[in-house]
Amino acid sequence: MGDHVVVEPYIVPEGTDTSETGHYNLSEGSNFIGLGGNGGGLAEKISVDERWVHKIPDSLPLDEAALIEPLSVGYHAVERANLSEKSTILVVGAGPIGLLTAAVAKAQGHTVIISEPSGLRRKKAQEAQVADYFFNPIEDDIQAKVHEINEKGVDAAFECTSVQPGFDACLDAIRMGGTVVIVAIWGKPASVDMAKLVIKEANLLGTIAYNNTHPKTIDLVSTGKIKLDQFITAKIGLDDLIDKGFDTLIHHNETAVKILVSPTGKGL
């Protein structure tokens, strides 16, 4: 009783393999607490299976622990790329998930390049020090910039925009035999330059949510390799959930990373 914890908010069908080798994120019919039932994060109390509960150190503030779940999305994406030590990677799109994906890669010792057209998002990425290089794809030739940094191209590129130019930039930037990881959720089909994919003998991978990455993500944070407080861009109360919460995310999403909701509006 009284332990500080974070929760993997999965709802999975009975019989799903949730072991350390199970790919429960790919289970058909799976869903998330708050989206597919079982209450949600704004409920006063919630019951979850012990399997999904992860204890965190008392030294980790609960406000920051609220970011473990989205950070695990980035961790899983980086894990999917199967990077060697001290790789060079490109993250296309510095929204919340792009930022956190870059943060994981940077914390693991990789050289990180960010491509982001929004000046506000680039500024946030620079302030958070989640990358080594920051470029504007509207003004900069990303492929040329990448080859100035590594003449062979990047080892992996992470597509976090769900727009065609973002995907094209990833495929252009990777080295021969490199990897493109699609992190964004696309709402429409994309086209692929199949000749380029084949000639580069590239690996094209998808990634969805996470599996068995929460303990490793918690370790990155608790050992100080990632500072999460800088990603909390607002703290609001329940009464402000619409005007200062959803409205900000929909209409002013260049400035928002994590909006923390609590009854008092002062955090957890």
3 state DSSP class of 150: coil
Class of domain 83-206: alpha beta
pTM exceeds cut of 0.85: yes
- Phi/psi at 112 (5° precision): -120, 130
Q: In CATH, what is the architecture of 5-70+212-261?
A: Alpha-Beta Complex (3.90)
Q: Where are the domains of the chain?
A: 5-70+212-261, 83-206
Task: Encode pLDDT of 190-222 as tens digits.
Answer: 999 999 999 999 999 999 999 999 999 999 999
Going by the DSSP 8-state scheme, the letter that residue 241 receives in this structure is I
Q: Name which of 193, 190, 191, 167 is nearest 180 in CA terms.
A: 167
Please report the pLDDT score of residue 261 as a whole number.
84
CA 237-63-241 angle, to 5 degrees, is 20
3 state DSSP class of 69: helix
Task: Encode pLDDT of 20-68 as tens digits.
Answer: 999 999 999 888 987 776 667 677 788 889 999 999 999 999 999 999 9
CB 140 within 8 A of CB 197: no
d(CA 66, CA 76): 17
Task: Please check whether the two domains, 5-70+212-261 and 83-206, share a CATH topology.
Answer: no
The total number of residues written for the chain in this structure: 268
Dmax of the chain from CA atoms?
Answer: 58
